[in-house]
Amino acid sequence: MVRRNLVASAKRARGEAARPQSYDPHMKPLVIVNSGRGGQAAVVFDACLSAGRPVAGWIRADEAAIAPDRGLLLLGDLEALLDDLLLATHDVIVGGGSAQFRRKLSLEVQASGGSLATVRHPAATVSRLAEVGAGSFIAAAAVVGVHATLGVACMLNAGATVDHDCVLGDGVSLSPGVHLAGSVRCDRDAFVGVGASIGPGVTIGAGATVGAGAVVIRDVPAGVTVVGNPAKPLIR
Ligand SMILES: CC(C)(COP(=O)(O)OP(=O)(O)OC[C@H]1O[C@@H](n2cnc3c(N)ncnc32)[C@H](O)[C@@H]1OP(=O)(O)O)[C@@H](O)C(=O)NCCC(=O)NCCS
């Protein structure tokens, strides 16, 4: 019964999908998953509109999740992703939630045979020699430099710059206005707060947090939060 409802919602979604002006009929419509009250999924949706990427609707990962846009069709909760038809006929991007949530769900979608969409705002600049992982998002005015590598489900927000030879693991989040110098490494699920700068060759460990406005000149161990200039571990 649940399955039949999901199939029906997928069919409805195809019929009612929001189709921007430059809709490409060969492109699979996108499903945006959102978790929590943050506005990130709305930013992803807005970039889809600017890029001419058709969006079928959104999936609510939890009770708190808010719609990326009031007019966007709600396709259901996470159970909707169990529907083979929906997975076969749509691309998925996890637009909101913690780094760990985005990474894990994105990898689960892939493991279930689904395809992840990489969404890039048309006003972003991405080197042709960079590699961007599936399910990643690159916002307006972000720059990805030559030979940079982004993993699965990374989030680069407005104006974040990733210079040459940087390596970002799966689920890494860069807030607006972050600057990574050349050859910086950010391991899985690392989070960099708004306006922070990371010096050349520095490694930010897995799950580490860099506070807003920090200037990081030394490696940050996994799971540690650093703040300030020069950045030091936050002692609570
Ligand atoms: C670093 C951070 C994660 C710490 O959050 P927290 O654990 O809730 O810490 P608190 O707010 O309780 O602050 C603890 C102490 O650290 C200081 N602090 C917090 N963030 C700081 C920062 N970015 N720079 C310098 N000091 C900071 C606080 O002033 C406080 O100091 P005090 O104990 O002397 O009063 C958070 O402040 C931060 O910078 N987050 C980034 C947010 C962001 O950029 N979001 C982007 C969304 S797109």
Domains and their CATH numbers in the chain: 2-116 (3.40.50.20), 118-227 (2.160.10.10)
Phi-psi map region of 97: left, alpha, beta (phi>0 left; psi -120 to 50 alpha): left
- Spatial CA neighbour of 193 closest among 215, 222, 171: 215
Task: Take atom 20 of ligand 1 and give the residue whose Cα is closest.
Answer: 211
Average pLDDT score over residue span 95-111: 96
Task: Take atom 3 of ligand 1 and give the residue whose Cα is closest.
Answer: 211
- Spatial CA neighbour of 155 closest among 118, 128, 112: 118
CA of 109 to the centre of ligand 1 (A): 33
Q: Is the pLDDT of residue 32 over 60?
A: yes
The finding on whether 151 has its CB within 6 A of some atom of ligand 1 is no
pLDDT above 70 covers what percent of the chain? 89
Q: Which of 90, 121, 164, 179 is catalytic?
A: 164
- Spatial CA neighbour of 68 closest among 87, 100, 94: 94
- Annotate 1-38 with b (16+ C-beta within 10 A) or e (fewer): eeeeebeebbeebbeebbeeeeeeeeebbbbbbbbbeb
Q: What is the spatial distance between Cα 33 and Cα 143, in angstroms, rounded to a whole number?
A: 25
Average pLDDT score over residue span 62-85: 95
Q: Give the single-character DSSP code of 33.
A: E
Has 179 been annotated as catalytic? no
Average pLDDT score over residue span 96-125: 96
pLDDT above 90 covers what percent of the chain? 88
CA of 211 to the centre of ligand 1 (A): 6
Q: Is the pLDDT of residue 109 over 60?
A: yes
The structure's pTM equals 0.90
pLDDT tens column, 121-176: 999 999 999 999 999 999 999 999 999 999 999 999 999 999 999 999 999 999 99
Q: Is the pLDDT of residue 77 over 50?
A: yes
Query: In the prediction, which pLDDT does 21 show?
Result: 40
